[in-house]
Structure 1
Amino acid sequence: MFPFIIRRTLGAAVTLLIIAAVTFFLFFAVPGDPARLACGKVCPPELLEQARHNLGLDQPLFAQFVAWLVGIFAGREYEGLGHCPAPCLGYSFVNRAPVFETILDRLPLTVSLTIGAMIVFFTFGVATGIVAALRQGKPLDKIASVSSLIGASVQIYFVGTLAMYFFVYQNPIFQQPRYTPFTENPLAWAGGLLLPWLVLAIIFTANYTRMTRSTMVEQLSEDYVRTARAKGMSGRSVVMRFALRGTLTPIVTILGVDLGTLIGGAIITETTFGLQGIGQLSIRSVVNSDLPMLMATVLVAAGAIVFFNIIVDILYAVIDPRVRLG
């Protein structure tokens, strides 16, 4: 198992390096003057030159990339701004604050939103899919299929807006969505994010219900499942020990993708509920042409997807040991 994890980790590191290079050259190789954006609209020539030096624009493009990459791991000196400790992603063009500190300030909200919603939609989606597969063709199966189709057809901004109107403003059943650190007040943390969790669960549960049902139906018809039944094993043992294990492989795949997407692309969710996480930060970075902040949010999104892909690979190896041989 350990060599398998090492191989996947090294592959992920190479992937992140490529993504970092593409991100850097994409933002700094396009036409325009980042130094002018960093300095502001009214910028004396000496400050413009200082900004150009801080961004490394007085060096070749490849040297700029190397200096930026080294700064992530070893820190970097900025003239007029002082030392940026590692991991240094630069200073924001808008508020001159270290980009990494701003990311750390917003990241807990986005992670809380993602993990809480994942627990809800994964639990309900897989459970509903299993029940629908075991009741194939019966009314409960048909209800689950229709509900899944409806849930997969709606969008977060539509369901979220309706939920805010009916359950927060008209009938205050839920709290106004807000973020409270878990360490300060766990109940306030859960209460402020409960409505976004449920709205995300409505949409994502549909996919997990359909995927679990279809895969479980296939697994229940496999020879090894029929053999287990022929040996006299109970229905629960057959489902939990054999059929469910084969069902989890595609479920884990979409779970890893969804988690990475939710953390890296929470723009619509956070905008709908007025939450200030990584998604809102990326929008403001685009509007304000804040290149260091925008590059950082892109790297966070890419890093989240790569990280959860590693987790998926490890779970594959746990579920099916044959994967380790690949």
Structure 2
Amino acid sequence: MISYVLRRVGWALLTLFGVCLFTYAIFFLLSPDPAVLICGQTCTPERIATIRDQLGLDQPFWVQFGTFLLGLVAGRWYGSGPGAVHCAAPCLGHSFQSGQSVGTMIGERIEVTITLAVGAALLWLVWGLLSGVLSALREGSWVDRSFNTVALAGIALPNYFVALVLQFVLVVQLGVLPFPTTVRFSEDPALWWDSYLMPWIVLALMYAAMYTRLTRSNVLDTLGENYVRTARAKGLPPVTVVGKHVLRPSLTPIITIFGMDVATLMGGALITESVFGLNGIGKMARDAISTNDQPVIMGFTLVAAFFVITANIVVDLLYSVLDPRIRVRSA
């Protein structure tokens, strides 16, 4: 197991290196000159040359890339002398628009995105598993048809439409919830709950619909297996048959997509954050794209890649726990 984990971590680091190289090349070789973007429209050639020298943009590409990688683990100094600026590790650069450290910008917003992703993930996982299992056990009944109808509606309705409808009904018409605001749990637990409840529901609705249909399909396939019929013939209680012999092996593909879905949301729920005005890293990325703020876009890309790669490792390790037929082979 230890050797397997070490191999996976090694491949993860290699993958992150590839993402860094590709992202850096896209934003600093194929995009407009960063010095021109920083300087603005009224800049002189002398000022542009000074900025390129301070940022090291006059160096060969591999020197720039090596400096960027070193900054991720050891920080980086911009310029020299009294005007030098230090960027603490992990240094992802500074925003062209605000001059703020990209790492600081992400750190200030990541809590909002994690809260949104984790809360929504718990909702859709619980609802998707319960509704999927009940639909499979009551195949063809009104329960099955009702859950399928809700699932189809959840898949068909766009996130922004559901968000606007909820805000109109719950906030404007009924007044049972306030407009969402970025607030910490420690500051006001009640307002924190009220602010995230609608975004959680909006995100969970679409994912819960997909998980309902996937769980239903997996459970129906597993119910037809010989070992399930044997367990029933032995007189085991239905709860034991479903919980131990049916649901557990059915969870393997669900865990796979669950890990990827949560990791993707950790990279920012762009539409949901924008509609509800939550200042997460998804909204930050949208603003950076609209202004071509290259360091912020690159920092967002690397953070999102980190979450996805980490989720892959965690999911692979969970396989052997959920399904005893799967074993991790050591090298």
The TM-score normalised by the length of structure 2 is 0.94
Displacement, 1:182? 2.4
Q: Look up the SS of the partner of 2:140 in the other structure.
A: coil
Show the 5 A alignment for 1:193-272.
193-272=196-275
Q: How far does residue 62 in structure 1 lie from its aligned partner after superposition?
A: 1.2
Distance 1:284 1:119 in 2: 28
Aligned partner of 2:74 in structure 1 is 74
My pick for the range that moved more, 100-109 or 217-226, is 217-226
Q: Distance in 1 between matches of 2:8 and 2:321?
A: 14
Residue 324 of structure 1: SS of its match in structure 2? coil
TM-superposition CA deviations, 1:58-85 (whole Å, max 9, x none): 1111111111111111111111351111
Q: 1:130 aligns with which of 133, 155, 163?
A: 133
Distance in 2, matches of 1:26 and 1:238, equals: 53
Structure 1 unaligned regions, length at least 5? none
**Aligned 8 A contact 2:27 2:294 in 1:** yes
Equivalent-residue separation in structure 1 for 2:126 and 2:5 (angstroms)? 27
Which of these residues, 139, 158, 165, is aligned with residue 142 of structure 2? 139
Distance in 2 (CA, whole Å) between partners of 1:54 and 1:222 is 67
**1:41 Cα deviation after fit:** 2.9
Q: For residue 282 of structure 1, what is the aligned residue in structure 2? A: 285
Structure 2 residue 308 is matched with structure 1 residue 305 = yes
1:180, CA displacement in angstroms? 1.4
Q: Name the counterpart of 2:329.
A: 325
Query: AA paired with 2:329?
Result: L
CA contact (8 A) 2:113 2:268 kept: no
Q: Distance in 2 between matches of 1:134 and 1:279?
A: 39
- The residue correspondences of 1:7-86 to structure 2 (distance < 5 A) are 7-79=7-79, 80-86=83-89
The whole-number CA distance in structure 2 between the counterparts of 1:102 and 1:115 is 20
Secondary structure of 1:325's aligned partner? coil
Aligned-residue CA RMSD in angstroms? 1.6
Percent of aligned positions that are identical: 41
Bigger drift between 65-74 and 1-10 goes to 1-10
Q: 1:323 to 1:18 in 2, by over 3 A?
A: farther
C-alpha displacement at 1:53, in angstroms? 2.1
Amino acid at match of 1:240: G
Counterpart residue type for residue 324 of structure 1:
V
Q: Counterpart amino acid of 1:92?
A: S
The range that moved more, 81-90 or 179-188, is 179-188
Q: Distance in 2 between matches of 1:58 and 1:304?
A: 33
Alpha-carbon distance, 1:49 to partner? 2.6
Unaligned runs of 5+ in 2: none
Q: Match of 1:83, SS?
A: strand
Moved more, 146-155 or 205-214: 146-155
Using the alignment, how far apart are the partners of 1:8 and 1:191 within structure 2?
Answer: 40
Q: Could you tell which deviates more after superposition, 121-130 or 50-59?
A: 50-59
Query: Which is worse superposed, 257-266 or 13-22?
Result: 257-266
SS in structure 1 opposite 2:77?
strand
The CA deviation at 1:45 is 4.7
The question of 1:294 aligning with 2:306 is answered no
Tell me which residue corresponds to 1:176. 179
Distance in 1, Cα, partners of 2:231 & 2:245: 8
